[in-house]
Amino acid sequence: MQTDAEHPASPLRASRARALSGRCRPPGDKSVSHRSLILGTLAVGETAIEGLLEGEDVLRTAEACRALGARIDRLGPGSWSVRGPGLGSLLEPRETLDFGNAGTGSRLMMGVVAGHPITARFDGDASLRKRPMRRILDPLTQQGARVLEEAEGGRCPILLRGAAEPLPVEYKTPVASAQIKSAVLLCGLNSPGRTVVIESEASRDHTEKMLAHFGARIASEPFGPHGRKITLEGRPELRPAPVRVPADPSSAAFPLVAALIVPGSEIVIEGVMINPLRNGLLTTLQEMGARISFENRRAEGGEEVADIRVAASTLAGVDVPAERAPSMIDEYPILAVAAAFAGGETRMRGLSELRVKESDRLEAIAAGLRANAVECEISGDDLIVRGGTGRVSGGGVVETHLDHRIAMSFLVMGLAAEQDVTVDDDRMIATSFPDFRALMEVLGARFA
Ligand code: S3P
């Protein structure tokens, strides 16, 4: 997204709200949505998707899949059909694949292109152009792809030529990252051999689950105390499989924390995915004393989901271990807001990966907290927040740096702070949660 005279930033202000109440359903999970379009493209025949997140990031992935030969139609709200050309039959895109703000879409699609004898150019907005891609390109070149052009430091725009016959590899990921793991697996799909990915800390497993759902032979076993070893047999016959996308726990986090910090609130958030590799925030909030309960637990589309009841709570600061980071990697901005309202100190350990998200999230969180008179400190890779025991002054203007989660987190802060909180730009919210404002207003939030 550009910001210039023709595309001005769009500030938004949040004001102290009365008790939030009611029920809501956040949009479909972003990770599952990207993967459903990609696997639908790699299967021959029609894949039906229900509950797809219609956020800008996912729509960019849909465009990229079309450029590789898929027919993708929107049948109704959240209801999509993908007709794939199938693994091994992708077309070379005629134009640049523009992923906008989407790290996940671009990185997963690099894996797809790397496993086919086609050349594609990858690009995106100012935020995506800053994000490190070497971590993806390194394993993909080991698998036989070639980087023909790249911007300084292995960044977009990147021209990538895929391998006609990707080599089977065993790859150990240098950081816990589902994007790296998924790129290697998606490339390995078209390899005549077996692709193995080892991660020393388990990251979200949506790619593995969905590959199995589409008929691939894939196994995942424990590796060391916290890791996994994933083995994929190449050249499977992927068959279309219906996908029902559960509500995104990373989006549910915003109304959830809002209900915790706005006095008197009680809400229910429906159909939220509670995959154990995504639930670090819930664990942490419960340790802080949050009143959260799970109702109507059920299986939906291969994932466990639940309706989450949340009531305003007195929170206490906690020490969040580094090992928990992969299961709540996108939730630190909103956890920092919860911590600002807690009593005592919250220390969040091992946050180096936050520096390479849509913004340098570690710095953006700290700057946003300080702008609202919350005491905090960055110590190495840890963030320490000293909470105001239910009280935060607010009154700040927060720089969002093209980062949707920074914008939504600080808007949530404004619902409970003494003075309004303004974010400098709300446009990026549409990348992951287009109806954020409307959904929050139905619960009682006040934005202007
Ligand atoms: C995602 C993986 C995570 C996460 C991102 C979505 C995915 O990134 O931050 O929002 O869908 O695979 P990393 O793999 O870089 O940790």
pLDDT in tens, 195-213: 999 999 999 999 999 999 9
Q: Supply the pLDDT for residue 231.
A: 98
| CATH architecture designation of domain 12-28+246-447 | Alpha-beta prism (3.65)
Tens digits of per-residue pLDDT, 36-69?
Answer: 999 999 999 999 999 999 999 999 999 999 999 9
Mutate to test the pocket of ligand 1, among 106, 203, 405 (most ligand atoms within 8 A of CB): 203
User: Is residue 4's pLDDT more than 90?
Assistant: no
* Ligand 1 proximity of 177 Cβ (cutoff 6 Å): yes
CA of 178 to the centre of ligand 1 (A): 6
Per residue in 76-90, pLDDT (tens digit) is 999 999 999 999 999
pLDDT of residue 377: 98
| For the CA of 356, the nearest atom of ligand 1 | 15
Q: Is the CB of 432 under 6 A from ligand 1?
A: no
Cα(344) to centroid of ligand 1, in Å?
Answer: 30
State the pLDDT at residue 423: 98
Cβ 207 under 6 angstroms from ligand 1? no
Query: To the nearest whole percent, how much of the chain has pLDDT over 70?
Result: 100
Ligand 1 centre distance from Cα of residue 138 (Å): 18
Give the pLDDT confidence score for residue 262 in this predicted structure: 98
Atom of ligand 1 at shortest range from CA of 180: 14
| Average pLDDT rounded to a whole number, residues 302-326 | 97
- Closest by CA to 250, choosing from 334, 332, 331, 360, is 331
Evaluate whether 12-28+246-447 and 30-232 have a shared fold: yes
Distance 15 CA to ligand 1 centre (A): 31
185 lines ligand 1 (CB under 6 A): no
Q: Is the CB of 330 under 6 A from ligand 1?
A: yes
Please tell me the predicted confidence (pLDDT) of residue 5. Answer: 79
Q: Is the pLDDT of residue 367 over 90?
A: yes
Name the residue with the closest Cα to ligand 1, atom 13: 177
- Is residue 275 within 6 Å of ligand 1 at its C-beta? no
pLDDT bin (cut points 50, 70, 90) of residue 7 is confident
Dump pLDDT digits (tens) for 125-173: 999 999 999 999 999 999 999 999 999 999 999 999 999 999 999 999 9
Q: What are the sequence ranges of the domains in the chain?
A: 12-28+246-447, 30-232
pLDDT digits (tens, 9 = 90+) for 204-250: 999 999 999 999 999 999 999 999 999 999 999 999 999 999 999 99
Q: Is 357 annotated as a binding residue?
A: yes
Name the architecture of domain 30-232: Alpha-beta prism (3.65)
Summary mean pLDDT of the chain: 97
Active-site annotation holds for 426 = no
Query: Is residue 2 predicted with pLDDT exceeding 80?
Result: no
Give me the mean pLDDT over the 310-335 stretch. 98
- Residue 302: pLDDT band by 50, 70, 90 thresholds? confident
pLDDT at 1 over 80: no
Residue 110, pLDDT > 80, answer yes
Give the β-pairing of 397-398 and 421-423: parallel
Q: Is 75 exposed, middle or buried (0-12, 13-18, 19+ CB in 10 A)?
A: exposed
Within a 10 A sphere around the Cβ of 7, how many other Cβ atoms?
Answer: 10
Give distance in angstroms: CA of 52 to centre of ligand 1. Answer: 17
pLDDT(99) > 90? yes
Q: Can you tell me the mean pLDDT for 20-35? A: 98
Tokens coding 374? 């919350």
Query: Can you give the pLDDT at residue 6?
Result: 79
Q: Is 361 marked as a binding-site residue?
A: yes
Query: Which pLDDT value is given to residue 362?
Result: 98
